[in-house]
Chains A and B, each alone.
Chain A
Amino acid sequence: MTGRGAWLLVPALLACALGTAGGAALTLRMSLHAPGTGAGLYEPGSWSLASWAVLADAHHGRIIATTVVTGLAVAALSTAAGYLMALAAAPLSGWRFALAMGLILAPRLCGVLAALFGLQRLLPRGWPGGVLAETWLVAPYAALVLVVAMRGIDPALAAAARGLGAGPWLVLARVVWPLSLPAVALCLQLGWVWGLGAFLGPLFLGGPDQATLAVEMQRELFDLGRWPRAAADGVVLSLLCLMAFAASPRGARA
Chain B
Amino acid sequence: MPTAGNAPSCAPAEAIRLEGVSFRHGAVRAVDGVSLGVPPGAFVTILGPSGCGKSTLLGIIAGHIAPAAGRVLLAGADATRLSPEARGIGMVFQNLALFPHLSAIDNVAFGPRARGAARVEALSRARAMLARVGIGDDEAARRPDGLSGGQRQRVALARALVTRPAALLLDEPLSSLDTHLRSQMLELVLRLHGETGIATLMVTHDPAEAMAHGDILVVMNRGKVVESGPPRRLYDSPRSEFTAGFLGPANIVDAAVAGLPGSGRVLVRPEHLEINPSGAAFTRPMVVARLEYHGHEMLATLADGPLRWVARGRGFPPVGTAVVAGASRVHPLETGGPP
A contact set with B: CB distance below 8 Å: 154, 156-157, 159-167, 170, 174-175, 178-179
Contacts and interface: CB of A to CB of B under 8 A. Distances in A.
Contacts of A161: 99, 110, 114
Nearest to A167: B85
Contacts of B97: 154, 156-157, 159-160
Given A170-B114, A174-B110, A179-B101, A163 B95 contact: no
A198 to B, nearest CB: 34
Contacts of A170: 114
Interface string B79-100: 0000111010111010101111
B63 interface: yes
Contacts, number: 62
Contacts of A166: 85, 110, 114
B48 interface: no
Contacts of A164: 85, 110-111, 114-115, 159, 163
Given A164-B159, A164-B163, A179-B100, A159 B110 contact: no
Nearest to B62: A163
Nearest to B159: A164
Interface of B: 59, 62-64, 83-85, 87, 89-91, 93, 95, 97-101, 110-111, 114-115, 159, 163
Given A160-B93, A163-B63, 9 more contacts: A154-B95, A156-B95, A157-B99, A162-B85, A163-B85, A165-B114, A166-B114, A167-B85, A179-B101
Nearest to B90: A163
A178 B114 contact: no
11 contacts: A156-B93, A159-B59, A159-B84, A159-B93, A159-B97, A160-B97, A160-B99, A161-B99, A162-B85, A164-B110, A164-B159
Interface of A, helix, strand, loop or mixed by DSSP? helix
A178 B107 CA distance: 14
A155 to B, nearest CB: 9
Contacts of B83: 162, 167
Contacts of B90: 163
Contact of A163 (B91, B100, B101): B91
B115 A162 contact: no
Contacts of B95: 154, 156
B27 to A, nearest CB: 14
Contacts of B114: 161, 164-166, 170, 174
A156 B93 CA distance: 8
Nearest to A153: B100
Contacts of B93: 156, 159-160
A159 B64 contact: yes
A166 to B, nearest CB: 4
Contacts of B99: 157, 160-161, 174-175
B64 A162 contact: yes
B190 to A, nearest CB: 22
A106 B90 CA distance: 43
A163 B111 CA distance: 8
B62 A165 contact: no
Given A156-B97, A167-B85, A178-B101, A162 B110 contact: no
The 6 closest A-B pairs by CB, nearest first: A164-B111, A156-B97, A165-B114, A162-B84, A160-B97, A166-B114
Nearest to B93: A156
Nearest to A177: B101
Given A159-B84, A178-B101, A165 B111 contact: yes
Interface centre among B63, B64, B95, B115 (most CB of A within 10 A): B64
Nearest to A164: B111
Contacts of B163: 164-165
Contacts of A162: 63-64, 83-85
Contact of B84 (A157, A163, A178): A163
A199 B304 CA distance: 88
Contacts of A163: 62-64, 84-85, 87, 89-91
A254 B1 CA distance: 56
A164 B87 CA distance: 9
A170 B83 CA distance: 14
